Structure 1
Amino acid sequence: MMRYRKIKRLVAAGILTMGTILAPLRPVEAVDAWGAAAQALGIFAAYKSSLAGMLALGNNVGAQMQCRIQDIEQNGQDPNDHDVQVVNQVMQQLVTQGDYVLKANSLPFMWTVNDSKDFNAACYPTNYISINRALVRGLNLEPDELAAVFAHEMTHGLEQHSAKNYAKAVAQSIGMSMVNMDTGSMDWGRLNGLVNYSIAKNVTLPTEYDADEGGFYLMTSAGFNPGGGAAAMARMGYYLTYETQNFLEYQDPDPKKQERESYSDHPETKLREDRLAQMMTDYSAGHVTVQNRKDIYIDGKKLLSVEWTGEGYDNTAENAYYVAGAIAKAFHDYDSIAGWNFRADGEGSLTCLDNSRVNAKLREFLTLRSAGERLQRLVRAAYAGEAASGARQQLRVAEKKRDQQRYNLREAILNADARTVKKMRENADAYSDFGLGDKAQFQMKRVFASRQVDNLAESQAISARAKAVSGDFAGAVQEANAAVATDGKNIYTYLNRADIYHMQGNLAKALADLQQAKAIDKDNVISYLLSGRIYDEMGNKEEAEKDFAEFYRLRPRAYREIPEEYLETIAPKEYKEIQKEKAEARAKFAKEWKKEQKRKNKQ
C-alpha cells in the first residue's frame, strides 16, 4: 500500500530479513547451545507453518470474496460512479495489458473502490485490492498516477509479500521473545516496541522498494506514462502536507521534522519520488532527467522548463514528470528518431509522437515553449551518442534479464503438479458459484495451458459451466457435451451439464443428466439436491420431497439446504430448531428496536 497500513489486513509488503536489533541483550553465550538450536528449529517451524497457512488463504476464492465483503462492510463503497469508472479502466489496462506472471497458487486480481477518507490502498493476501476513495480523489483521478499505485499493490500480490512477511514477522517475534526469556535483558513492553520497530524496518520496508520497482515496470509495460510513479509521489507529498484531514497522515513540510527514523514501514515520500524518477531515467536509456522538479534535460542539455497549470495547487512537479515520462517512453520504445514522427505542428514549430494521453503534457509544453526543433536536435544527438556510450545495449540487457525471469516463472507454472492444477480448477468452479464467470474462465485458461491437466473431462465440464455463468450457453453446451464424450462415467460431467441446462431453462434435459449422475453414484448428494430444486420449480412436490429426503439421509447435517416446507415432513426436529432460532432472532430484534426507540425519545 502507499503509506499507512492496517495490520489486521495482513498486507505487509516486504521480504523480512531475520536479523534483529538487540543491542541491550546480554552476550549470546549465556544461552545454552542445545536450547538455542531447539529454539531455532521451533522458529523455523513456526515460519513454515505460518507461511503455508497464509499461502493457502491467499489461494482460496471464498477468502477473497470475504475480504471484499469485509472491506465494504467496514468502509462502504464509493458512491461516485466516475471514480469507479476511472479506477476500473486503469485496473483493466494493468491486468489485461501489463506484462506480469501470476503464480500458480495465486488468484486473479479483484478490487473495489471503497468510501474511506484515508489516503491509502492495500493488497490482501488473496489478491484483493482495496482502493480508498480519498486516494483516488487525492491523486485527482490521474490515470498514470493511479496506475503507479495500483501496479505497486499488484506487485505485492504477485510476489506474495503479505504471506511471506506475515510468516517472517511471526517467526521474528517468537525468536526475539525466546532470546529475551533466555537472557532476561528487557521488560516485555520494551521488547514489544523493539519487535514492532524491527518488523517495520527489516520486514516490510525492503519490499516497499521492491513493489515500487515492480510496479514501475508493470505500469510501463501496460502503456502508462513512465513518469506517473514519481508524479504520484509528488502529488502524495503535497496532499499529506496541505490537504489531508487525518492528522495521522500529516507530513510536515520541513524535511527535518519528518522523523525519518520512525516506526513507519514505508519509505519517505520524497525518497520514493527520487527513486522512481531515476527508474524513469534508466527507462529512457539514461537520456532524460528532471532537475529542480521543473526542468527537463536530455543528456545534460536543457530542453525546457514546465510551470504550474493546476487550478487548486502547484502541479509543476507532476507536469515535469509527465513531460519527461513521455520522452522516456519514446526513447525506450524506438531505437531511432524515425519512430518519433517529428512534423510541423501548424503553428510554425514542430511536434512529435501521437496525441495520446501519455504524450499530452509533452506536446502541450513543446507548443508553449516553441521547443519542437530543440527537442528534435537533442533526440538526434542522443541516438548518435548511444553507440559510444552503450546506453541502449545496457537497457536491452536489463530488459532481457527481466524477460528471462518472467519466462522462468511461466515455465514453472506450466509444469505445476497435478495437485496445484486441481486447485486452479476448484477455484474456477468456486468463481462460478459466486457468479463470476469471467474469473472462472480465466482460471480455466490457466488449467488448460498446464502440462499436467489431471482430469480433462472435469476441466471441460467446469469450463463449460463458467461459460454458462458468463452467458455463453451455446459454447457451454458444446463444451459440456465434449466433457461427457471425454469421460461418460465421470459424474461431474453430468452434474455440470445439468446445471448448465438448468440455467438455460431446459429442465427436462437437466433432470435427465441428474438421473445419469445418480446411476453413476447413488450416494452423491449433489444430484439429489439439484433435482429436488428443479422438481420444486416445476411444482412436482412429490418428486421434490423424495429427492430432498434422500439428500437428508445422505447428509443430515446439511438440512438447512432443504426448503422448510419439505424439511417439516422430512426432519421435524431440525425444522423446529430453525423455527426456534427465527423466533429468538425476532425477539432480539424487537428488544433492540424498543431500546433504540427509548433512547431516541429521551433525546
Structure 2
Amino acid sequence: MKIGKKLRAAILASLLCAAQLPHAAAVEAASLNPVMIGMSAIGGLLAYQGTLKEMLAIGNNVDYQISGLKQDLEENGEDKDAPDREVVDRVLGQITQHGEYALPINSLPFLWRVTAAETFNAACYPTDYITVNRGLVRALHHDEDELAAVLGHEMTHGLRQHSAKNYAKAVAESYAGIAIGSAADNLDWQKLNAVVGYAIAKDVTLPSELEADEGGFQLMTTAGFNPGGGAAAMARMAYYLTYETQDINEYHDPSEDPNAPNYNDHPAMQERVERLARMMTTYGMGHVTVENGTDVLIDGEKLLSADWDADYNNTTENAYLIAGGLAKAFHDHASFDDWQFADTPGGHISYLDENRVYEKLKKFVMRNHAEERLERLVRAAYTSPQDKEMREKVAAAEKKRSDAWQKIREKALDAKGDYVKQLRYNADRYSDNGMAKEALFLMERAFAAKNPDNIAENYAIRGRAKAVAGDYEAAIQDSDRAVSLDAQNIYNFLNRADVRRMMGDRDKALADLETSQEIDAKNPYIYKMRGEIYDELGEKDTALAAYKEYWKYAPSARDIPDEYMKDVDAAAYDKILKEREKKEKEKKEKEEAKKDAPENKMGEKT
C-alpha cells in the first residue's frame, strides 16, 4: 500500500518549510497563526510517538504476522507452481542464513509466501512477512541474483522497520495538517491535499526506498549473490513495464489529473539502475563498469560487449551480471594469483572457481574469445594504486556496517524482561501454528538475553517447540526442567502435558492436567486439552464433559469441534454457524469486488 496515497488528505509538517512547497501553498502557510503552528507541531510529535509505539507492537506480534499471511493468501491465492516457490525459498533462505544483518529485539523472524498475483511486485509487512507475486518471479525469469536484489530490498524494509516508522510519520503529519488547516481562514484545501501527497511520497517514503535499495545490495552480496543483480533487476523491470505490460499502476495512478504532481514514492527506474551500478563498481574496488548497457569495462578498457541469450532482449541484464561476476572476484580476491589463471589442454584459459555467480562472465568471455584480454586487464588492475586505496576504503565501510549490526545484537542481549516475555509469547504462538523453526529461533534469543525473566517458563516454551519439531527426547528434558524449577506455575505443567500428548503418552499428559487442576481449577486450557485427549482416545462422553467445562470457563471460545459444540450449547452453536455463513458470504463478495479492483498490499513494496 502506498502510504502517501492513503493519507493524502492530511498535510505534512514540512508544509511549514516554504522551500519545499509550491509558491502559492507556501504563501498561504506563512500566513497562519504562529501559536497554532507550534501547537500542531507538538501534537504531531505526540501522534508520531504514540503511533510508532503501536505500530512496533503490531510488528512484534505473531498473531498479526500470521493473520497478514493468511489474509494475503486469501485475497491473492497461493502460487501452486513449484519452481516459483522453490526459487524464492532458495534465495530468501540463503539471504536469511548467510547475509550479514541483525534482527532488532522487537522484530519477528522473516516469513514469506509466493502469491498467485500476476503484477510485478513484492512487499514487506510491518510484521516482517514478505509477500512475493509470482508475476515478479516470472518476469525476472527465476533469476536468483535479480530476485536476491529485490527480496533483499524487502528484507531491509523489515530490518529498518520502515512501514512502522513511515506510517507514524504520515499520521503525525496528518495531525499537524488538520490543526493548521483548522486555524486558516482561506486555505485552499485542494491545493494542500496535492502538496501533502507529493511531500509524503518524496519526503517520507522515497528516502526509505533508497535506503532499502542500498541495504538490499549489502544483504545479497554478503549472502554470496551477484553484485550486478540489483542493476540487472531494475533494468529488467524497466524493460518489462515498457515493452511487455505497459502497466504503470504500481508507479502512478492514471486516474489522477495528468497535470497534478507526480506522487511516485519510488526512485525513477534509470536512477535506480545507475545507483545500484555504482554500488557494484565500488564493491569491485572501482575496477568494473558498464557503459551503454552493453559494454563491460575494467579500469576504463573494454573487455567485451554483452549480447542476449534468452527469448527476449536481456543484453543489459547480462552486462550487469557479467560485470557483477567481475566485481565479486575483485572483491573476494586480494591478488591476481587468487584468480588462478591457467592454460587448459583445450587451448582455453581457466580462472576462478565454479561459483554460480561467475557463469555469465565465463560464458561471454569464451563467446568473445576474451580470455587473454581478461587476464591482462586483471593483472594490470592489481598493480594500480587505486586498487590498494579502494580496498582500504571498502574494508572500512564494511567494518562500520558490521559494527553497527553488532550493536543491534548486543542491544538484543541487553533486553529487559518485557521483551523476553514477548519472545516467549511469540514462540508459543509459532508452536501453536506448527512453526517450530521460528519458535526455537525466538527461544534461543530468550535464553541468550542477559535478563531471561523467567527461566522455568523459558524451558517450558522451548520444550514445547522442540516437540513440535519432533525432537521429543530434548522436549521432555526441557519440560521436566521447567517443572523442577517452578512446580507452582500451572503453565509449566500444561506445556509438559502437551509435549507428552504429542509424544503419544496420554496417561502422563492427563496426570499433568490433574496437577494443573490442583493449582488452578478455573484455567480453561486444562479442559480444552482434556477434551482433545479423550476425543483421540474415542471416549466421547468424557470428552463432551471436558468440553462443557472448557465452555464454562471460556464462553467465547470458537475451537470446540462441531460434534461436541452442538451438545455443549445449542444456541451458541447456531450463532457460530450463522457467523460462518456471514464470513463466507463476505468472502465471496470480496472476491467478486477484487476482480475489477487494482491490487493493493499493505507494506513497503518493491
TM-score (norm 2): 0.88
My pick for the range that moved more, 33-42 or 121-130, is 33-42
Partner of 1:601: none
Distance 2:7 2:29 in 1: 33
- Do the aligned partners of residues 460 and 180 (structure 1) sit closer, same or farther apart at CA in structure 2, a change above 3 Å counting? same
Match among 553, 573, 576 for residue 571 of structure 2: 576
Partner of 2:293: 293
Partner of 2:281: 281
**Aligned-partner SS, 1:131:** strand
Distance 1:584 1:119 in 2: 36
Q: Is the 8 A contact 2:122 2:132 kept in 1?
A: yes
Distance 1:502 1:155 in 2: 40
**Aligned-partner SS, 2:304:** strand
Deviation string, structure 1 residues 341-397 (Cα, Å, up to 9, x no partner): 212244323121112220001111221222222222222222222478611111111
Partner of 1:75: 76
Deviation string, structure 1 residues 496-535 (Cα, Å, up to 9, x no partner): 1110111122110101111122223333221232123323
Partner of 1:99: 100
- Do the aligned partners of residues 589 and 108 (structure 1) sit closer, same or farther apart at CA in structure 2, a change above 3 Å counting? closer
Distance 1:8 1:36 in 2: 22
Partner of 2:470: 471
Distance 2:527 2:584 in 1: 36
Distance 1:157 1:527 in 2: 38
Instruction: Choose between structure 1 and 2 for higher RCO, CA contacts under 8 A separated by at least 6 residues.
Output: 2
Partner of 2:595: none
Q: Which amino acid aligns with 1:53?
A: E
**Aligned-partner SS, 1:390:** helix
**Aligned-partner SS, 1:363:** helix
Q: Is the 8 A contact 2:284 2:326 kept in 1?
A: yes
Q: Is the 8 A contact 2:109 2:128 kept in 1?
A: yes
Q: How far did residue 30 of structure 1 move? A: 4.3
Partner of 2:403: 404
Q: How far did residue 417 of structure 1 move? A: 1.1
**Aligned-partner SS, 2:266:** coil
Q: Is the 8 A contact 1:43 1:171 kept in 2?
A: yes
Partner of 1:255: none
Q: Which amino acid aligns with 2:306?
A: V
- Do the aligned partners of residues 371 and 33 (structure 1) sit closer, same or farther apart at CA in structure 2, a change above 3 Å counting? same
Distance 1:502 1:359 in 2: 51
Deviation string, structure 1 residues 316-347 (Cα, Å, up to 9, x no partner): 11111111111111111121122212122443
Deviation string, structure 1 residues 296-332 (Cα, Å, up to 9, x no partner): 222222222222222x222111111111111111111
Q: How far did residue 70 of structure 1 move? A: 1.6
Q: Is the 8 A contact 1:351 1:367 kept in 2?
A: no
Q: Which amino acid aligns with 1:446?
A: R
Q: Which amino acid aligns with 1:402?
A: R
Q: Which amino acid aligns with 1:39?
A: S
- Do the aligned partners of residues 589 and 223 (structure 1) sit closer, same or farther apart at CA in structure 2, a change above 3 Å counting? closer
Structure 1: gaps spanning 5 or more residues? 252-257, 594-603
Q: How far did residue 446 of structure 1 move? A: 1.6
Distance 2:226 2:380 in 1: 23
Partner of 1:129: 130
My pick for the range that moved more, 181-190 or 465-474, is 181-190
Partner of 2:272: 272
Partner of 2:527: 528
Partner of 1:377: 376
**Aligned-partner SS, 2:120:** coil
- Do the aligned partners of residues 304 and 564 (structure 1) sit closer, same or farther apart at CA in structure 2, a change above 3 Å counting? closer
Distance 1:260 1:8 in 2: 14
Partner of 1:445: 444
Q: Which amino acid aligns with 2:245?
A: T
Q: What's the RMSD between the two structures over aligned residues?
A: 2.9
Q: Which amino acid aligns with 1:582?
A: L
Q: How far did residue 239 of structure 1 move? A: 0.3
Q: Which amino acid aligns with 1:328?
A: A
Partner of 2:208: 207
Partner of 1:598: none
Partner of 1:426: 425
Q: Is the 8 A contact 1:511 1:531 kept in 2?
A: yes
Partner of 1:392: 391
- Do the aligned partners of residues 34 and 250 (structure 1) sit closer, same or farther apart at CA in structure 2, a change above 3 Å counting? closer
- Do the aligned partners of residues 9 and 537 (structure 1) sit closer, same or farther apart at CA in structure 2, a change above 3 Å counting? farther
**Aligned-partner SS, 2:211:** helix
**Aligned-partner SS, 2:527:** helix
Distance 1:84 1:262 in 2: 35
Q: Which amino acid aligns with 2:444?
A: K
Distance 1:11 1:96 in 2: 37
Distance 1:10 1:186 in 2: 21
Alignment of 1:167-566 (within 5 A): 167-244=168-245, 246=247, 248=249, 262-310=262-310, 312-386=311-385, 390-541=389-540, 543-558=542-557, 560-562=558-560
Q: How far did residue 259 of structure 1 move? A: 10
Q: Is the 8 A contact 2:241 2:248 kept in 1?
A: no
Q: How far did residue 263 of structure 1 move? A: 1.1
Q: Which amino acid aligns with 2:370?
A: A
Distance 2:556 2:536 in 1: 24
Structure 2: gaps spanning 5 or more residues? 253-257, 589-606
My pick for the range that moved more, 433-442 or 152-161, is 433-442
Q: Is the 8 A contact 2:87 2:144 kept in 1?
A: yes
Q: Is the 8 A contact 2:459 2:482 kept in 1?
A: yes
Q: Which amino acid aligns with 1:482?
A: R
Q: Which amino acid aligns with 2:233?
A: A
Deviation string, structure 1 residues 38-80 (Cα, Å, up to 9, x no partner): 2222111111111111111111111111111121122112222
**Aligned-partner SS, 1:297:** strand
My pick for the range that moved more, 581-590 or 529-538, is 581-590
- Do the aligned partners of residues 72 and 280 (structure 1) sit closer, same or farther apart at CA in structure 2, a change above 3 Å counting? same
Q: Which amino acid aligns with 2:230?
A: G
Deviation string, structure 1 residues 193-238 (Cα, Å, up to 9, x no partner): 2211110111111111100000000000110000000000111111
Distance 1:173 1:345 in 2: 68
**Aligned-partner SS, 1:117:** coil
Q: Is the 8 A contact 2:79 2:114 kept in 1?
A: yes
- Do the aligned partners of residues 279 and 263 (structure 1) sit closer, same or farther apart at CA in structure 2, a change above 3 Å counting? same
Alignment of 1:34-73 (within 5 A): 34-73=35-74
Q: How far did residue 582 of structure 1 move? A: 3.2
Number of positions where the alignment pairs a residue of Structure 1 with one of Structure 2:
574
Q: How far did residue 564 of structure 1 move? A: 5.9
Partner of 1:254: none
- Do the aligned partners of residues 8 and 115 (structure 1) sit closer, same or farther apart at CA in structure 2, a change above 3 Å counting? farther
Distance 2:583 2:565 in 1: 25
TM-score (norm 1): 0.88
- Do the aligned partners of residues 318 and 218 (structure 1) sit closer, same or farther apart at CA in structure 2, a change above 3 Å counting? same
**Aligned-partner SS, 2:296:** strand
My pick for the range that moved more, 316-325 or 481-490, is 481-490
Q: Which amino acid aligns with 1:190?
A: K
Q: How far did residue 37 of structure 1 move? A: 2.6
Q: Is the 8 A contact 2:500 2:508 kept in 1?
A: yes
Deviation string, structure 1 residues 470-504 (Cα, Å, up to 9, x no partner): 22222212222222233233222211111011112
- Do the aligned partners of residues 119 and 11 (structure 1) sit closer, same or farther apart at CA in structure 2, a change above 3 Å counting? farther
**Aligned-partner SS, 1:111:** strand
My pick for the range that moved more, 134-143 or 65-74, is 65-74
Q: Provide the identity percentage.
A: 48
Q: How far did residue 544 of structure 1 move? A: 3.8
